[in-house]
Amino acid sequence: MKDRIEILASGFGGQGVVRLGQIVGTAAVNQGFRVTMLKSHGTEQRGGYVRTQVVLSKEEIDSPLVEDPDFFCSFSSAAYKQFGHMMKDGVVLYDPAMVEIDESKPFRQIAVPAKDMAIEKLGRPIYANIIMLGALSAAACEILDKENMLATMLSIIPKFKDENRNAFEIGYGMVTS
């Protein structure tokens, strides 16, 4: 494993981007990682983006900035445009309902139709971020333990446990290693 794993999630306010970062960060702490998470917020009103940057390491983390993402969950085209250029050899997880990708990029890009699946399978779009979390969990399964991630998610979101568990599993199933 690399000595430092960087995870970036970005989209609009209300998409659960910060929540996703919190769950990933807490799950990593539970797994014994040192963790930092930054959130840029308060920009929703101005139509801007929301971003969380999570860094995991077995060592103390100095810079909490994501400059070379291993995983990038993109919830909007704006986010993709703004941060996609940072990608070198990481993985992009994107929702094709919201994001148009540049196919010419050399790194791996995985379509996670989170919003459509949330509506189709669970009846409400609000589960999209948990579907994305499941997909991220699968993509990062060599680093982050699935069962721990699921348990952490359920402890952070105590409501609608069944739906959230389903959402997580749907997302997890979308990514094959």
Partner 1 sequence: MLAGCNAFAGYPITPATEIAEAMSVNLPRIGGYYMQAEDECAAMHLAIGASLGGMKAMTATSGPGFILYADPYGWAIGCEIPLVVLNSQRVGPVSGITGAPGQGEFYNVRYPTQGGNYETIVLAPNSAQEAMLMTVEAFYLSERFRTPVTILADQLITDGFEDISVPETDEEKKAMGMRFMERKAHPGPEFYPPTDEIDIPPVVLGVGTKALCSDWTPTEEGYDIETVEAQHKHSYRMIYKIRNHKDIISRHETLFLDDEPDIIVVAYGSASRTVKTAVKKAREKGQKIGMIRPISVWPFPDELFQYKAKYLSVELDYDGQMVREVQRAAPGDSEIHFFGKCGELPTVAELHETFDKLLSGEQLSRIGWEREAW
Residues that bind partner 1 (CB under 8 A): 21-22, 25, 29, 33-43, 61-65, 67
Residues 6+ apart with CB under 8 A from 50: 10, 11, 12, 13, 15, 17, 18, 39, 40, 41, 43, 44
7 vs 113: CA distance, rounded Å: 19
- Shortest separation between residue 62's beta carbon and partner 1, angstroms: 4
| Residue 172, both tokens | 């997890």
| Residue number, 25 or 84, with CB nearest to partner 1 | 25
Q: Which two tokens stand for residue 104?
A: 């010419």
Report, in Å, the least distance between residue 150 CB and partner 1: 20
Residues sharing a CB contact under 8 Å with residue 133, sequence separation 6 or more, in sequence order: 20, 23, 24, 149, 153, 168, 171
Closest CB to partner 1 among 63 and 155? 63
Nearer to partner 1, 36 or 77 (CB): 36
Closer residue to partner 1, CB minimum distance, 43 or 155:
43
CB 116 to partner 1: min, Å: 30
Tell me the closest approach of the beta carbon of residue 84 to partner 1, in angstroms: 16
